[in-house]
Amino acid sequence: MIRRSLPYLGIALFVLVFALPVVWMIGAAFEDPARAGRGFLPTAPTLDNIRAVLADGFLVRLTNTAIVAFGATLLSLFAGFLAAYALARFRFPKRLDVLFLLLVLVVKLMPPIVVALPLHALLLDLGLLGTLSGLVLVYQLYTLPFCLWMLLGFVREVPVEIEAAAAIDGAGLLRRLWHIVLPLALPGLVATLIFALILCWNEFLFALLYLQRPSRFTLPLYVATFITEDETLWGRLMAIGLLSSLPVLLVAGYIQKHLLRGFAPGTK
């Protein structure tokens, strides 16, 4: 009996360790600002922290983050989908496809700080330093290799026979892409979209380096300024944390099933 329940005890312990900090965050967000963070459950639940945060420019940062995340993701989905299709279907001369994929892999795995200086110069030249569109462009470094890698798997799963049949009926490349490949790869596109959005949603380094005006800040940057300036306003800090994580936590159940594809290329 004890032997049997031992594994479940282990699981419970792990779940507790992973969940407690998140539970604490939620508790602190709803606790009286003066007492926030001292316990796990609010003694006198209040919306004061949430209200204060909403009144203090949270929504602007939320909008900024959403603009950058959707901009970068959509651009990468477009470019990545076309390239993934080419890599999945076309015959490349001289194994250039392998070379291209290796390049994508290196970009995906390299430390982003390596290119921080040249990208700073590039954004300055383009007049996009400190702008959200500049951030959309440099985020391609994260989102494009990611989208390409993921979409490659999904496009490969679309049976080539349907496309061949349509081609015989005279459908050109664009029509086949739009009417056959895109609808069939749609579940994959949606999964990729969500992951890429989360990737941008949580990105910190480039936002720190290339955004200067607080009114342009994204949420992680907002959290960072709050951590360093107001050390112990935990109620407010956790309210920001909770509000900015809410979209991500809500989809956790759905993405848990697809997670491996996104974070660990090479595993199935």
Which amino acid is present at 96?
L
Among 54, 67, 74, 122, binds other proteins (CB under 8 A): 122
- Residues 170-189 binding other proteins (CB under 8 A) are 173
- How many residues make up the chain in this entry? 268
| CA separation for the pair 9, 98 (Å, rounded) | 47
- Residues 83-112 binding other proteins (CB under 8 A) are 83, 85-86, 89-93, 100, 102-107, 109-112
Q: What is the DSSP string of 246-261?
A: HHHHHTHHHHTTTHHH
Instruction: Tell me which stretch binds other proteins (CB under 8 A): 41-49, 50-58, 184-192, 220-228.
Output: 220-228
- Residues 32-71 binding other proteins (CB under 8 A) are 37-38
Instruction: Tell me which stretch binds other proteins (CB under 8 A): 42-50, 55-63, 180-188, 259-267.
Output: 259-267
* H helical segments located in 95-233: 96-109, 116-126, 132-138, 140-156, 160-168, 173-176, 182-184, 186-201, 205-210, 219-229
Among 69, 144, 155, 197, binds other proteins (CB under 8 A): 144
Residue 136 touches other proteins, criterion: CB under 8 A: no
CB of 45 to other proteins, least distance (A): 19
CB of 179 to other proteins, least distance (A): 16
- Residues 185-214 binding other proteins (CB under 8 A) are 198, 201-202, 204-205, 208-209
Q: Which residues of 96-135 are buried (b: 16+ CB within 10 A; e: fewer)?
A: eeeeebeebeebeeeebeeeeeebbeebeeeebbebbebb
